Amino acid sequence: MQRIEVAVGVIMDDTGRLLVGQRVVEDHYFNKWEFPGGKIEAGESVSSALDREFREEVGISVTVSKPLIELEHDYPDRHVRLHVHLISQFSGEVTPLEGQALAWVNFDELEKLDFLAGNQPIIEALKARYGT
Ligand SMILES: Nc1nc2c([nH]c(=O)n2[C@H]2C[C@H](O)[C@@H](COP(=O)(O)OP(=O)(O)OP(=O)(O)O)O2)c(=O)[nH]1
Ligand SMILES: [Mg+2]
């Protein structure tokens, strides 16, 4: 199976809450929570893919981001490599442009969400860095 390269962005607000979205595509992962992002197109860097995906899905332009973690996960129907960046600067207003739910959640709330299975290492990395 082909490995899909994915750019994923984590934004934390001033109070330590994280931006999460709920998937709207009606595939196996319908309604699962994720960090916004999407597939990296040919010739794109992670940063430019992030900026494009956040413009399309969340209505903001990503101006500064840095790598947090890179990981691979095998789902039954697809293998993904997630390039996860922490976004520290953006412009525009966060807006759910694809009809998806978007929410700002703290770590306690994050743990209760039905997240994509591949995301546990991301959550662990965030807790190691910011959690109590
Ligand atoms: N955006 C995102 N994708 C994730 C996360 N965790 C995870 O395993 N994935 C996987 C699920 C998908 O197979 C893939 C992302 O692809 P996607 O379906 O969101 O791609 P896309 O936004 O480009 O959407 P499309 O144009 O193909 O419809 O990465 C995550 O936290 N955020
Ligand atoms: Mg997406």
CATH number at residue 68: 3.90.79.10
* pLDDT band of 131, cuts 50, 70, 90: confident
Q: Does 36 appear as a known binding residue?
A: yes
pLDDT score recorded for residue 1:
82
Q: In whole angstroms, give the CA distance from residue 45 to residue 113.
A: 30
pLDDT > 90? residue 119: yes
Residue among 116, 120, 123, 124 to mutate when testing ligand 1 (max atoms within 8 A of CB): 116
The domain tally of the chain equals: 1
Whether 35 lines ligand 1, by a CB cut-off of 6 Å, is yes
Query: What is the pLDDT confidence band of residue 31, given thresholds at 50, 70 and 90?
Result: very high
Q: What number of other Cβ atoms are within 10 A of residue 60's Cβ?
A: 21
Distance from C-alpha of 120 to C-alpha of 126, rounded to nearest angstrom: 10
Cβ of 117 below 6 Å from ligand 1: no
Phi, psi (5° rounding) for residue 34?
-155, 170
Higher pLDDT, 36 or 132: 36
The pLDDT tens digits of the residues spanning 71-118 come to 999 999 999 999 999 999 999 999 999 999 999 999 999 999 999 999
What's the CA gap between 79 and 5, in Å, rounded?
9
For 15, the domain range is 3-130
Q: What pLDDT, on a 0 to 100 scale, did the predictor assign at position 104? A: 98
